[in-house]
Amino acid sequence: MTNDAQATLKQWTKAVLIPVENLVMTDWNCNEMGETKLAHLQNEISNDDDPADPHFDEPLQVIPILESDGKYLVLGGEHRAKIARAINMAAVPCVIREDLAKLSRKELMLWSVRRNNLRGRLNAQKYAEMESELIDTHGMTAEAARRSMLIDGDLAKALRASVAVRSNENNESDDGHTGSRQHGDDVAEGQEARRSKEELLQALKMAEQDVLLDSADTVENGYLFFMQGKKGQTHLVVDESTPLNGLVKEMVRACKGLDGKVDDFLVAAIRNELKNWEMA
């Protein structure tokens, strides 16, 4: 884009500069960041050429603290706020979320967690393609590529396993390559692929268990929607009360006895109840 074209763009005016000393952190933030990633984030924000003009390009989300002297609670961007203090920034750009100011502590906690969860997850296939390009085209080792992208821990294990499984499947489908392999290599690679697949499945199972176990505390009203399976089926997880749990058990027994489907039963029941609500 040329300078003339940039000059025609409108400025976004929602962000304001708030003194760092006026920012207050929450006591519930569960989005932890290790020292290594925190150091990378600080390097990303710091500007060695002009320390007075850091690369702070994403505003914080804050709300005013009632009955305080100009203090603001940081709902989004706590790590950036801490780095701003560490590099002696006088003020940081913030978006004041007046629409959240009157929410209860519980509602603010839920909003914070949902906000962090909206940032998405790595797609293993796309990651594998990007890693391959970094290695084949740009001369990086796999370890250097992962380290540069801050891929570590369980995520690194899951992605490594996924890449290994996909690579093995591609090799097995390529007759030209499989025909030239020695039998011993085939056996060793097959065993390694099975181990990798098992590691991947275990990592995914652990991640799913964490989501399901924590969902009642992190998703408003205890409901969680998620996609799973080859066809991308939508699943609904409900944090059931005792009465609801009893009704669900009765429904399952009835559906089994009538050789029916739980989906059909729920669809019919919900449609009937919605009609009653509309008439009321």
Give the model's pLDDT for residue 24: 95
Give the model's pLDDT for residue 140: 79
Three-state secondary structure call for residue 105: helix
Read off the pLDDT of each residue in 200-206 and give the average, rounded to a whole number.
67
User: Is position 231 within any domain?
Assistant: no
- How many domains, in total, are found in the chain? 3
Residues 106 and 19 in one domain: yes
- Per-residue confidence band for 163, with pLDDT thresholds at 50, 70 and 90: low
Statement: residue 189 has pLDDT above 90: no
- Per-residue confidence band for 216, with pLDDT thresholds at 50, 70 and 90: very low
Q: Which domain, by its residues, includes 66?
A: 12-117
User: Is position 2 within any domain?
Assistant: no
What beta strand segments (E) does 97-151 contain? none
User: Is position 226 within any domain?
Assistant: no
User: Is position 230 within any domain?
Assistant: no
SS3 for 214-280 is: HHHHHCHHHEEEEEECCCCEEEEEECCCHHHHHHHHHHHHHHHHCCCCHHHHHHHHHHHHHHHHHHC
Please report, rounded to a whole number, the percentage of residues in the chain having pLDDT higher than 90.
18
Q: Which of 200, 206, 126 is nearest to 164 (CA)?
A: 200
Pick the range with the lowest mean pLDDT from 55-59, 236-240, 242-246.
236-240
User: Is position 7 within any domain?
Assistant: no
Q: Which of 195, 199, 239 is nearest to 215 (CA)?
A: 239
- Check: pTM over 0.85? Answer yes or no: no
